[in-house]
A and B are shown apart, each in its own frame.
Chain A
Amino acid sequence: MVSQPTTIGGPQFECETGNYHTFCPISCVAWLYQKIEDSFFLVIGTKTCGYFLQNAMGVMIFAEPRYAMAELEEGDVNAKLNAYDELRRLCLQVKKDRNPSVIVWIGTCTTEIIKMDLEGIAPRLEEEIGIPIVVARANGLDYAFTQGEDTVLAAMAARCPEPQQVRSEEEKKERTLGLRSLFSMGKKEDKKSEQQASTPVYADHRPLVLFGSLTDPVVNQLTLELKKQGIKVSGWLPAPRYTELPIVEQGVTCVAGVNPFLSRTASALQRRMRCNLVNTPFPIGPDGTRGWIEAICKTLGVTPKGLEEREAQVWAALKEDVDFLAGRSIFFMGDNLLEVSMARFLIRCGMKVLEVGIPYMDKRYQQAELELLEKTCNEMGHPSVRIVEKPDNYNQIQRIYELQPDLVITGMAHANPLEARGITTKWSVEFTFAMIHGFTNAHDLLKMVRKPLDRNNNLKSLGWEKLIQEV
């Protein structure tokens, strides 16, 4: 029996066995190597890791990727071979073939188990070969899927320069104007930016650095959204190039996350780099985006303007989808940590959230998001949300059978079998790769949620719902 909460209130937290399906965190190399153009990702692991990457990344593998496996052989595991020498040989080859500005080592389960001292080897080797080596332990023993990005960004945070380290004007420009596509280099533009300089576009506020890897269009969109409030984004972690990592001024710079799975990055920026973390809900959905901008404004001492209208405008544009989704029930099996933000947005759309599975819940980092969730539930009259950490997929499927949700957000391992049993599904990983942040993309996010429902509505008259033979 599933006991569904009936009272309105804050979310209820549960924890299950952790027997769930998710991607291995090393998958983050797939989007990070594309984001950081001058990087090379070396995954130090076994055939198992390689097989996962080559299958999960599908076609991307063929586009001369800037990532490779350092495949461990028996000699590496039983320490017949020296890890330093082996990594030196491979990294020199990478340097020769690709000449990257940074090599990121991804530690895996195997390097953990055999206790290969990557953090110890890296500085020595970095000095020897003259290329920065960043070590991220993105392994399946400790982390799930998107948390891989978190480990990489947390490691990279330590490489952000301080203002006094950046001497040349040229470099300063590069690092602060890391958003290259926003600032064109043409002569014509130069005149314009001079003109702009005379009229103050930005309020006078402490430097703001945003963290989280998003595609360039979304970076531009969110940056412009803040520009409307007179807030200048001094840089992003990660920047499009490693050499453009933002300047971080200890004790001065404010930082804000754009994704809910970046808790280690947040604490690395807070503790090691002494930044001020803005606690925000995440810019997913117009409600989240508004909350995100407001929280940043508040911290930087800027009065937000026109946000309410902006949000209302976006909701008006979403009306048709919201009308369609309202009243339908949804179940998140949980695998990418975006679940709470998405659930909050969809409750605001009038959906009924039956369960929010999530691999890991950092209540501190997600505090503002959880508060917004509670507020949303109160305002929408939605019963308090069940948040299930480390879910058990088998138990969840029993609950799904019982609750018969209108839509299940799940991994590909379960999607087809559930569809065959007449349960509509949406593949969760798509939300990780699609552009879902900010006001501009709220519609795309709803379209993705709607698509399976629309498809199955279209096929409804055919009577092809249960496609398995009852035993």
Chain B
Amino acid sequence: MKLAYWMYAGPAHIGTLRIASSFKNVHAIMHAPLGDDYFNVMRSMLERERDFTPVTASVVDRKVLGRGSQDKVVTNIVRKDQEEAPDLIVLTPTCTSSILQEDLSNFVARAQEQSKADVLLADVNHYRHNELTAADITFEQIVRFYIEKCKGNLPARSEKPSANILGISTLGFHNHHDCRELTRLLGDLGIAVNVVAPEGCSVHDIQRLPAAWFNVVPYRELGRPVAEYLQSVAHQPFVDITPMGVIQTAQFIRAIQQILTAGGVAVDYEEFIREQTLFVSQAAWFSRSIDCQNLQGKRAVVYGDGTHAAAITRILAKEMGVRVVWAGTFCKYDGEWFRSQVEGLCDEVIVSDDHALIGDRIAQAEPAAIFGTQMERHIGKRLDIPCGVISSPIHIQNFPVGYRPFLGYEGTNQIADLVYNSFTLGMEDHLLEVFGGHDTKEVVTKTLTADTELEWDEAATRELARIPGFVRSKVKRNTEKFARESGRNQITLEVMYAAKEAAGA
């Protein structure tokens, strides 16, 4: 057993559900007790999704516990097949089914006989995988299933250069914006986007994947196994450089140049890179401007998933002159890769998913700014250190409606703003401290409460103190007005509540 208050990566089934619900017309059925369909709430609220999340539970209750699921799972799959006519139904095990050890693959086989939809059992184990690794496994499993269905009848390469974008998914950090930016970037390079997966992709599109010249895997955490699989069966090369920051975006484009050249189309993107870097993206100029001079040598810490923590560390250290005291990730299973990425860019590397340790290390480092997840933002609040959020886990405010990519050239602009705003806020705070805070001298106005003769008893005073600050004076005014009008000179709890009723608020 482990005492835990907070986790950075969710349980395995969340990963499977993220993949299943990213695809179009794929339905996931969880083998889970009542209440485990919390994923639907997250998707509906965080992503403000307009459609019903295609996830239902085959509920495990006492009866199931006693006799096994028997026909229940099969019935639920067949029912969903008839109701929604999905292309694919993914049976999703949870922590509960992991220990029940029912023969879920048998249920899948039986349901397959009665369903028009394809039926798959997600091959993940609650105790061995987390959200990120499970997503990776499920994505690969689905792609493999449909490619194998082609039985070698893979489509021919497209005539003109084209690419697939792999790893865009629901509830991913700024994924939708990143996808748009990547598509635009590839378009600028004269490359068509063949298929984006899994987000918005139909399972029928999977069989078109091999038509692309190469694959783009923007995130370390999702899509590599698919890219490797496609490389082995369809001889597709892939680019796994994350185009985040000016330097990495240039590397990304050069890697594509190599692939195209090897494929017989000689291209030279150097002029494009120069133009974008110097004049289109503002990030290079920003680094040179005197604002950014102030950032020189400022201390920061970086923490997040592998992709974002590594990329932001590189941007801070190499592009902005910020000193990264330590950089860390919670992707322990991929710790070696992370180390190799940030080596030489920070004083120390931390690979841990213990939020208490991370909190302590932030407190010890006393950085001028933190770049982390929502958890680090709250640690920052407690320590009075500003924080820019750069990675999941995230809250609803990290699903902005406006265009906020982290990738590509527009992404460099967004990141520049994020970094700069974090630090200036810190500076403002500091100045406020030096000059003794905002001008807080009380504004003297003659309000109703100013010349009151009314006496508040202790219980009422305590109750008043409990009312949130921003409405407290209004409540106080209303209560006293009520007391005066009803001819009372002492305010008790009864008077307060009566005033509340009278005011109708």
Interface residue A202 (Cβ < 8 Å from any Cβ of B): no
* 25 A–B contacts, CB within 8 A, in A order: A21-B41, A22-B34, A25-B35, A46-B11, A51-B7, A51-B38, A59-B378, A62-B375, A70-B2, A113-B99, A140-B32, A141-B34, A181-B459, A182-B459, A184-B458, A220-B463, A220-B497, A413-B52, A413-B53, A414-B52, A416-B44, A416-B48, A417-B51, A417-B52, A443-B504
Interface residue B337 (Cβ < 8 Å from any Cβ of A): no
Q: Which residues of A contact B470 (CB under 8 A)?
A: none
Interface residue A101 (Cβ < 8 Å from any Cβ of B): no
Q: Name the segment of A74-82, A160-168, A348-356, A376-384 touching the other chain.
A: A74-82
User: Would you give the 0/1 interface string for B62-89, flagging 1 where the beta carbon is closer than 8 Å to chain A?
Assistant: 1001000000000010000001000000
Q: Which residues of A contact B266 (CB under 8 A)?
A: none
Asked whether B463 lies within 8 Å of A140 as measured between CB atoms, the reply is: no
Q: How far is the CA of A71 from the CA of B11 in the complex (A)?
A: 12
Asked whether B42 lies within 8 Å of A55 as measured between CB atoms, the reply is: yes
Asked whether A114 lies within 8 Å of B99 as measured between CB atoms, the reply is: yes
Tell me how far the C-beta of B140 lies from the nearest C-beta in chain A, rounded to whole angstroms: 22
Q: How far is the CA of A74 from the CA of B60 in the complex (A)?
A: 21
Q: A55-B38, A141-B33, A181-B463 are in contact. Are A68 and B3 (CB under 8 A)?
A: yes
User: Would you give the 0/1 interface string for A100-118, flagging 1 where the beta carbon is closer than 8 Å to chain B?
Assistant: 0000000001101110000
Asked whether B50 lies within 8 Å of A48 as measured between CB atoms, the reply is: no
Tell me how far the C-beta of B77 lies from the nearest C-beta in chain A, rounded to whole angstroms: 13
Closest to B492 in A: A224
Q: How far is the CA of A93 from the CA of B5 in the complex (A)?
A: 14
Q: Which of A46, A93, A220 lies in contact with B95, CB distance below 8 A? A: A46
Asked whether B65 lies within 8 Å of A68 as measured between CB atoms, the reply is: no
Tell me how far the C-beta of A45 lies from the nearest C-beta in chain B, rounded to whole angstroms: 8
Q: Which residues of A contact B44 (CB under 8 A)?
A: 412-417
Closest to B379 in A: A62
A-B pairs with lowest CB-CB distance, top 4 = A24-B35, A140-B33, A413-B40, A420-B50
Tell me how far the C-beta of A310 lies from the nearest C-beta in chain B, rounded to whole angstroms: 10
Residues of B that sit less than 8 Å from A by CB? 1-7, 10-11, 13-14, 32-38, 40-42, 44-45, 48-53, 56-57, 59-62, 65, 76, 83, 94-96, 98-100, 126-127, 130, 375, 378, 381-382, 395, 457-459, 462-463, 466, 493-494, 497, 500-502, 504-505
Interface residue A454 (Cβ < 8 Å from any Cβ of B): no
Residues of A that sit less than 8 Å from B by CB? 18-26, 44, 46-48, 50-52, 54-56, 58-59, 61-62, 65, 68-74, 76-77, 81, 86-87, 89-90, 93-94, 109-110, 112-114, 139-145, 181-184, 186, 188-189, 216-217, 220-221, 224, 314, 317, 394, 397, 411-417, 420, 439-440, 443, 467-468
Tell me how far the C-beta of A410 lies from the nearest C-beta in chain B, rounded to whole angstroms: 11
Closest to B45 in A: A412
Closest to A468 in B: B50
Closest to A89 in B: B1
Asked whether B457 lies within 8 Å of A144 as measured between CB atoms, the reply is: no
Beyond the given pairs A48-B13, A55-B42, 18 more chain A to chain B contacts, judged by CB atoms under 8 angstroms and listed by A's residue number, are A18-B61, A19-B57, A47-B11, A48-B36, A54-B7, A62-B378, A69-B5, A70-B2, A73-B1, A77-B98, A93-B3, A113-B99, A139-B33, A181-B463, A220-B463, A414-B44, A417-B44, A443-B501
Q: A55-B38, A416-B49, A420-B50 are in contact. Are A109 and B458 (CB under 8 A)?
A: no
Asked whether A73 lies within 8 Å of B96 as measured between CB atoms, the reply is: no
Q: Which residues of A contact B34 (CB under 8 A)?
A: 18, 20, 22, 24, 140-141, 143-144
Asked whether B95 lies within 8 Å of A47 as measured between CB atoms, the reply is: yes
